[in-house]
């Protein structure tokens, strides 16, 4: 049926499930993702995509820590920890507190760990349904 015959085309963003209703097995409840939030969500997901960053977030969720304290607790080098903290700071997942010559890092929002736990549960459940990766 052509456009002139009264049929309506689905806009590309709705066809992809962005901003529109979702149907089928993975149908979600609640509001659809807004386009303006997708890039922010992608940036956060990218920042959370490294196991060492997740370990650092877990470490600082128990209280403020210096780079040296994080490095010691996680058995990582200070340059590596500093590198990951820069990325976590860039995406606003950590905040810093300066005290003289010392800098301490802490989790910006405790909901971050809830998201990480949920992703871990989804990954575990998804992988348990598969025989191959």
Structure confidence by residue, pLDDT tens digits, 13-39: 443 444 444 444 555 666 777 887 898
pLDDT at 94: 97
pLDDT of residue 130: 72
Distance, in Å, from the CA atom of 124 to the CA atom of 88, rounded to the nearest integer, reads: 25
Q: Is 60 exposed, middle or buried (0-12, 13-18, 19+ CB in 10 A)?
A: buried
Q: In 64-83, which positions are buried (b, 16+ CB within 10 angstroms) versus exposed (e)?
A: bbebebbbebbebeeeebee
What is the distance between the alpha carbons of residues 117 and 67, in angstroms, rounded to a whole number?
24
**SS3 at position 28:** coil
Buried b (16+ CB within 10 A) or exposed e, 11-30: eeeeeebeeeeeeeeeeeee
| Claim: this prediction has a pTM higher than 0.75 | no
With a cut of 70, list the residues of the chain below it in pLDDT.
1-30, 131-133
Give, rounded to a whole angstrom, the gap between the first and last alpha carbons of the chain: 41
**Interior CA angle at 53 toward 49 and 55, to 5°?**
115
Please tell me the distance from the alpha carbon of residue 5 to that of residue 87, in angstroms, as a whole number: 53
């Amino acid at each position: 049926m052509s456009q002139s015959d009264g049929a309506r085309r689905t806009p590309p963003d709705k066809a992809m499930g962005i901003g529109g209703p979702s149907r089928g097995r993975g149908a979600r409840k609640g509001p659809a993702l807004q386009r303006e939030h997708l890039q922010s969500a992608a940036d956060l997901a990218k920042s959370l995509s490294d196991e060492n960053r997740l370990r650092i977030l877990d470490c600082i969720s128990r209280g403020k820590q210096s780079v040296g304290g994080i490095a010691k607790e996680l058995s990582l080098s200070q340059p590596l920890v500093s590198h990951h903290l820069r990325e976590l700071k860039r995406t606003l997942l950590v905040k810093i507190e300066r005290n003289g010559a010392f800098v301490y890092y802490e989790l910006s929002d405790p909901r971050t760990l809830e998201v990480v736990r949920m992703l871990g549960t989804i990954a575990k459940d998804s992988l348990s349904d598969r025989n191959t990766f």
